[in-house]
Amino acid sequence: MKIVPVVAAIFMSLAATVSTPALAGTLQCVPYARAQSGIDLHGNAATWWDQAEGTYSRGNSPRAGSVLVFKASRAMRVGHVAVVDRIVDDRHVVLNHANWSRPGMIEKSAMAEDVSEKGDWSSVRVWYSPTHSLGLRASPAFGFIYANGSNGGSEVGSTPTAKMPSDAFQAAFSDLPKQG
């Protein structure tokens, strides 16, 4: 009956490699944004805005390397954070983020559009991979948290840096990944 312990040991070793639920190791937006931006905040994404007060500069102008903080909403119960890769024009940026279009999926070069009336990034549409377009839903946002020492310094509300000319919008948008 020595076969039973061997079979059991094989089964246990195989189970250890495949028994983890698919979502248990899913990368969330918070650790991804923290690693990519150097902004050392923790907890749900929607709490980052208040946590940043007194530690990091905040504002409503995007800067390369800053983190766009989305408010909690019915569609995003804990908010969302995304890192600004580059600025296309006053109303468009390119984001890198995780867990937006699909659980755990890292998206690089995802277009985001400011659809707020005042142009203050308080309402944003973001590239949604399953539809290969900007999302139909506008998501509420607090604004941007600036990494200390990153592009743009610490002046809140200053002019965006690393800005592309407006005519480059179409070129930047056409390079977006067609993931599904």
Region 26-174: CATH code: 3.90.1720.10
Domain ranges of the chain: 26-174
Instruction: State which H helix or E strand residue 62 sits in.
Output: none
Give the 3-state secondary structure of residue 50.
helix
Q: Cα dihedral sign for 85, 131, 177, 99?
A: positive
Give residue 109's pLDDT band: very low, low, confident or very high (50, 70, 90).
very high
Q: How far apart are CA 72 and CA 78, in angstroms?
A: 5
Q: What is the reported pLDDT for 26? A: 77
Q: 149-166 b/e with 16+ CB inside 10 Å = b?
A: ebbbeeeeeeebbebbee
* Strand 80-89 relative to strand 139-146, pairing: unpaired
Residue 11: pLDDT over 70: no
Average model confidence (pLDDT) across the chain = 78
- What confidence tens digit (pLDDT) does each residue in 140-162 have? 999 999 997 544 433 333 333 33
- What confidence tens digit (pLDDT) does each residue in 41-99 have? 999 999 999 999 999 999 999 999 999 999 999 999 999 999 999 999 999 999 999 99
Residue whose tokens read 């599904």: 180
